[in-house]
Amino acid sequence: MGKRWFLLIALLGLEACTPAVEPDSGIFGQVLLGPQCPVVMEGQEEECADKPYQATIVVKTEDGSREITRFTSDTNGFFRVALPPGTYLLDPLPGGEPFPFGKPQVVVVEPGKYIEMIIYYDTGIR
């Protein structure tokens, strides 16, 4: 019985030392909030440009029936999420009622690639 326990402990130790393998595919990008101004006049391009936005995005199966994961962009709107290859529906959670909101969009993640995306939230300013 002593040899079995030793083998079990040795195997558990090897498992604990095995590094987690991160998939080499997924999505990355930025969440932006806009428009910032109802009309952009000459000289206002910078102040009226879309702004980074911290938001939570739910990653679902392509048909939207099941949640795979969710992530929150950082305060500068940036995100990076590892995902296995496949087709996903990105469903931005509303930031308020009714604004800001983002529209769901489909993304195809290819093997060995990170797909760059911009996710837009609408401020409702017109």
Q: Is residue 2 part of a domain?
A: no
Q: At residue 23, does pLDDT exceed 50?
A: yes
pLDDT of residue 126: 87
Mean pLDDT of 39-63: 94
Say which CATH number the domain at 31 has: 2.60.40.10
pLDDT in tens, 62-100: 999 999 999 999 999 999 999 999 999 999 999 999 999
Cis peptide before 98 (omega within 30 of 0): yes
47, 37 Cβ separation under 8 angstroms: yes
Q: Is residue 46 part of a domain?
A: yes
Q: Tell me the whole-structure pTM to 2 decimals.
A: 0.80
Q: Is residue 112 part of a domain?
A: yes
- Write out the residue range of the structural domain in which residue 75 sits: 23-122
Q: Is residue 59 part of a domain?
A: yes
The most confident of the ranges 14-18, 43-47, 102-106 is 102-106
Residue 12, token pair as written in the block? 């558990």
Q: Is residue 62 part of a domain?
A: yes
Q: How far apart are CA 29 and CA 27, in angstroms?
A: 7
Q: Is residue 11 part of a domain?
A: no
24, 88 Cβ separation under 8 angstroms: no
Q: Is residue 37 part of a domain?
A: yes
108, 84 Cβ separation under 8 angstroms: no
Q: Is residue 13 part of a domain?
A: no
Q: How far apart are CA 53 and CA 33, in angstroms?
A: 6
| Residue in the structure block whose two tokens are 């950082």 | 74
Counted domains in the chain: 1
| Residue in the structure block whose two tokens are 């929150």 | 72
Q: How far apart are CA 43 and CA 29, in angstroms?
A: 28
